[in-house]
Each structure stands twice: as C-alpha cells, then as structure tokens.
Amino acid sequence: MMHFLASKAGVKVINQLEQAGYEAVFVGGAVRDHLLGKRATDIDIATSAEPSEVKEVFATTIDIGIEHGTILVLVDEEPIEVTTYRTGEIRAQLNTVKSLREDLRRRDFTINALAMTKEGQFVDFFDGREDLKKRLIRAVESPKERFEEDALRMLRAVRFASVLDFTIEKETFETMKKYAYELQPVAIERIKVEMDKMFLGNNPLKGFKLLVESGLNQALPLFPSEFCQLEDLLPFEFTKEGWTIFMLLGRFTASEVGNAYKLSNDEKRFLSHVEKAYTIRLKKIFTIDDIYFYDAMILYIVEKFYIAMNNLKKDVSIETFEREKEKLPIQSLKDLKVSGQDLLKWANVRGGRWVGEWMQKIEYAVLHGHCKNEIAIIKEWFINDFDSER
Ligand code: ATP
Ligand code: MG
C-alpha cells in the first residue's frame, strides 16, 4: 500500500525530520493521488519544524516560498516540498496534533486536506476519503469562508473536477455561483496555472461547462462563448494545445489570448503560428509550402479543428503531417546541399542581398521538385542563370 506514494525520498525526509525531534506527514495532492492509485505530480510534506529548523536538518535545500514556510528539500535528486504547519498566528500555543488539524483545515477541499504518516496511517479530519469515494469536491468546512480567504479556490474546484472527472458538491458549487465575481482580482499568473491543469484533465469539457454554469467565465479575462465542438478535439496532450483550441473556439486572436492570460513567449509564438495556419486552411487545403513551413503539431491542430468545425468524417494525427513532411525533398533550409558560401564562391562577386534571394529561389525549386537537391545540378543552374541575369 505504502510503496508507491512513499517516494523513497519522501520517507527519508520524514525519517530525518523525526530523528531531529519533529513531526512530519505527507499531505495534500500526494495523499489524494496515492488513494486514487495515481502517481503524484509532486510530494508535499507538512512538518512541525520551522523553516529554519528544516534547513538545519537537510544538506541541500532551496527557499522557494519561505514566506509561506515552504522549503524545497532535495533528496536523491528528488525535490520534496516541506512546509511548516500553517496555522495562522496561534501556532505557538498549539500542540502538534492541533497544529496539523489547523494546517489541514486551511486547505481548499476535503480530498486535499488529508494527511498520511510514513507508516501509511491516515489523518482525515474532514472525511476526505469519503468524498474521494463519492468523487466529490467539497470545500473544507465552510465554502464561503474558504473562498473568501482565497477566491482562486473556486477555479481550483473546476480544475479538480476536470482533472479527476469529479463532481463539485452542491453547497460548494452554490457558493461558487454566488462569489464567482471574486475571482476577477486574482493574479492572472495563478489563474493560468489552474487553466493549464484543467486543459490536461480527464474531462476538460466538464471544466468548460462548470466555468460557465458557475459564472466564473465572466470573471476570466476571455472565455469562448461557444464550445460545443470541444468534445471532438479532446484529449489535449499539451497545455499549448489547450490554449490554441481555447483561442480558436473563441475566435480570439493569438495576441488577445497571449496578453490576457500572460502566456509565455513560446506559447504566444505557437498560438500565432496556429492563427496564421488556420487562416490559410480556411481558404484552401495545405500546400507543399505550408507543410514545409509549419510544424507538424501546428498543422495537426489546425486540421483537427477544421474537421471538427465542418463535421467532416476524417481522421488526422500528428503522424499524418510528419509523414507529409518526410515526403518533401527537404525538411528545412539546412537540408539543402548548397549554402550561401557555395554561391559566393561560384559567382565570384561580392555578397549582398542576392545571396539570400538565390538561396530562397533554390529552396523553392528543390522543395517543389523543379531541381534536384544535388550540388552539381544546382551549380549548373545557378551559374547559367546568375550570369544571364547580369
Ligand atoms: P497537483 O496534482 O496538480 O499538484 P495538488 O493537490 O498537489 O494537485 P497543488 O496546487 O500542488 O495541488 O497544492 C498542493 C496542496 O496544497 C493541495 O492539495 C492543497 O491541500 C493545498 N493548496 C494548494 N493551493 C491551495 C489554495 N489556493 N488554497 C488552499 N489550499 C491549497
Ligand atoms: Mg501538487
């Protein structure tokens, strides 16, 4: 039972803390995922030790959120988050059992408010295991108080509903409807993290629907008003894919989505490529030049979206476009057998804009099969045409 959650490194961390006289338990998502039989994305440990005390116990630590009492401990290269019991101001007067209870009470949902000792014994003050069985997302004690403390938790409820394909408990959901507008002032960086995870869940369609039903969509900077085609587009394999479909469904531009949700530069670039490729696809099927220019992933997402929007009975995968790309005489400029250096040598004139222009001409000719990708052939063509042009 213990073996798999108990990342060995996690057990080592707890052992060391205990040997130093502190109490330490697994908490949060790691315990939840253990009970669900899933591998946790990260291991969180709560302890009675203060951050400075945690740092004394371990050789390698990183301050990642010391203001929240969190220290990252590295054991066998595995990062383990160790957080001092969060109890508000009264910790000093509490014994450790009460402190752990206070810590768990401050968590968002009952399924995330479970703790487990390294021996596999559960600490479950809020019936988290019961809710796990019922597949329910229920705020710890008072939904109103939990959401007042942190409005992001409403979006987290939707995120967990998508990731785990769970239902949001009635009172929790009713409270979300009432306070949805409170999400608006929450930092967009925090919102984006939850959206990223929602996209990759087991049931993102449920996530989208819940955002609308709760009214949280109105507190988000942008949200598509129509997403009935979403079902045909799932599952998402990458967060970028999620953001792309989000953009296309909402008919937003890449920069609208990129700016509104503070996407990374890499994500922005990806969205803008998809935006361009989709404009092309709306006019005609992809040409050799498009297949050459765009990544297979971009072409795939665009084609998949096009198929869904037009109810076409067609299958498409990334491999479809990877194969198309492989069929081309060259996959990129690097594959050309000649370089700008060769042109300079053959022309025996000074470099200038003509080099780039000629490289493009050769690239086009080879790509379209007008000229073989062989030095001798390209050279002959070049020497003939270059001289006659001058
Ligand atoms: P994931 O598998 O996505 O990492 P998780 O449950 O571990 O899910 P995290 O965001 O990593 O979620 O947070 C770890 C734990 O910290 C949660 O399980 C929860 O107990 C607590 N937590 C995180 N964010 C909040 C929050 N905004 N409010 C209350 N508790 C939170
Ligand atoms: Mg986590």
Q: Which atom of ligand 1 is nearest to the CA of 104?
A: 20
Omega prior to 51 cis, within 30 of 0: no
| pLDDT value at 259 more than 50 | yes
Q: Is 311 in the pocket of ligand 1 (CB under 6 A)?
A: no
Ligand 1 pocket: which of 85, 108, 200 to mutate (most atoms within 8 A of CB): 108
Local structure of residue 45 (DSSP, 8 states): E
Handedness of CA 189, 255, 205, 242 (dihedral sign): negative
Q: How many beta carbons lie within 10 A of that of residue 65, not counting itself?
A: 12
User: Measured in angstroms, how far is the CA atom of residue 351 from the centroid of ligand 2?
Assistant: 56
Crossing angle of helices 204-214 and 188-199, rounded to 10°: 140
Give 269-306 pLDDT, tens digit per residue.
Answer: 999 999 999 999 999 999 999 999 999 999 999 999 99
pLDDT grade, residue 307 (50/70/90)?
very high
Q: So what's the pLDDT on residue 215?
A: 98
User: Measured in angstroms, how far is the CA atom of residue 82 from the centroid of ligand 1?
Assistant: 13
The fold of the 333-389 domain, in CATH, is Serum Albumin; Chain A, Domain 1 (1.10.246)
pTM above 0.85, yes or no: yes
Contact of 116 with 124, CB cutoff 8 Å: no
CATH code for residues 135-220 = 1.10.110.30
Q: So what's the pLDDT on residue 66?
A: 78
Residues of the chain above pLDDT 70, percent: 95
Contact of 336 with 379, CB cutoff 8 Å: no
| pLDDT value at 1 more than 50 | no
User: Measured in angstroms, how far is the CA atom of residue 75 from the centroid of ligand 2?
Assistant: 18
Tokens of 113: 């408010």
CATH code for residues 1-134 = 3.30.460.10
Asked if the domains at 1-134 and 135-220 fall in one CATH topology, the answer is no
Local structure of residue 91 (DSSP, 8 states): G
Indicate the domain borders of the chain: 1-134, 135-220, 229-328, 333-389
Q: Which atom of ligand 1 is nearest to the CA of 163?
A: 3
Considering the domain delimited by 229-328, tell me its CATH architecture.
Up-down Bundle (1.20)
Q: So what's the pLDDT on residue 4?
A: 52
Mean of per-residue pLDDT scores for the chain:
93
Q: Is 107 in the pocket of ligand 1 (CB under 6 A)?
A: yes
Q: Whose CA is nearest to atom 10 of ligand 1?
A: 29
